[in-house]
């Protein structure tokens, strides 16, 4: 099958060396740098700036004033060749910014498939974003943040550098996250605390009422005021809930994936002595 034609508006600037897939559409006043790769069916609506090295996956749509692939906002960056990689079928709305990695860290910023970044949200250097992630307007994340699959961050949410957000977590609007958030966690407040589980997300994921009930039981036991640390409780949950996959995800996160202190409920053992740091 012959490739579909690519359209480049006469006012757009596409530098020599840029690689364009089939049926790419580049609208008025866009700038595509020489180290940029655009996959099939990518659309840059207008006034989009993409520098590189940056790869934009097939089927992505980028709205006006987005700036992708810029140098990291990091004083340690000295011009090393680093990358931004954006997956397939990602929607990038007005004014979104995404920066490349740094030379002394991962060296690349990676965004997964089927994500949506609403207006003026920001992805900093060396971040890893999973699949089906949604950032509402004005979300800000610092460098080296890792965000799991199907995470939603509400408008104006801010995530501290080096934080890890587990799969299927929900971060409320205007919430500042300074510590890691467990999978399926629901984080709220100007300084984030766990207000419970992301029950809506769990239902959307097809979990049964019985499964959800068991995960809620495990959540209560994880942060119980029983004289044990959160890590000790997690080790016990590993055997007590061996047949509940979401609980095992939470246990693995607490014991293996969390790198910073955990975001915890306002009361219980977790509020006083959560041991979320990796050892």
The catalytic residue positions are 125-126, 143
Cα–Cα distance between 264 and 41 in angstroms, integer? 43
DSSP 101: -
84-106 exposure pattern, b = at least 16 Cβ within 10 A, e = fewer = bbbbbbbbbbbbbbbbbbbbebb
Name the token pair of 56. Answer: 């934009």
Distances (CA, A) of 2 to 7, 8, 9, 22, 39: 16, 19, 22, 9, 16
- The radius of gyration computed from the CA coordinates of the chain, to the nearest angstrom, equals 21
> Whose CA is closest to 41, among 19, 22, 18?
22
User: Taking a C-beta distance cutoff of 8 angstroms, is the pair 32, 38 a contact?
Assistant: yes
Extract the tokens encoding 279.
């050892």
Are 90 and 115 spatial neighbours (Cβ–Cβ below 8 Å)?
yes
Query: 196 pairs with which residues across the strands?
Result: 186
């Amino acid at each position: 099958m012959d490739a579909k034609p690519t359209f480049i508006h006469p006012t757009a600037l596409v530098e020599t060396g840029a690689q364009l897939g089939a049926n790419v559409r580049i609208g008025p006043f866009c700038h595509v740098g020489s180290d940029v790769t655009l996959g099939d069916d990518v659309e840059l609506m207008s006034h989009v700036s993409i520098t590189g090295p940056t790869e934009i996956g097939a089927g992505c749509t980028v709205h006006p004033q987005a700036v992708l692939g810029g140098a990291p906002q990091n004083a340690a960056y000295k011009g090393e060749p680093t990358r931004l990689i954006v997956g397939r079928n990602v929607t990038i709305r007005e004014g979104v910014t995404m920066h490349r990695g740094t030379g002394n860290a991962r060296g690349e910023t990676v965004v997964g498939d089927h994500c949506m970044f609403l207006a003026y949200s920001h992805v900093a250097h060396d971040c890893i974003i999973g699949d089906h992630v949604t950032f509402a307007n004005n979300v800000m994340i610092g460098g080296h943040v890792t965000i799991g699959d199907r995470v939603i961050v509400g408008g104006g949410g801010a995530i501290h550098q080096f934080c890890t957000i587990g799969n299927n977590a929900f971060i409320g609007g205007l919430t500042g996250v300074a510590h890691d958030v467990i999978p399926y966690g629901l984080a709220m407040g100007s300084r984030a605390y766990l207000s419970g589980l992301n029950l809506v997300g769990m239902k959307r994921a097809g979990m049964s009422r019985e499964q959800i009930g068991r995960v809620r039981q495990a959540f209560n036991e994880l942060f119980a005021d029983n004289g044990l640390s959160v890590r000790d409780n997690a080790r016990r949950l590993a055997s007590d809930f061996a047949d509940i996959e979401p609980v095992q995800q939470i246990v693995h996160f607490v014991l293996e994936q969390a790198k910073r202190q955990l975001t915890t409920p306002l009361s219980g053992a977790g509020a006083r002595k959560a041991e979320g740091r990796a050892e």
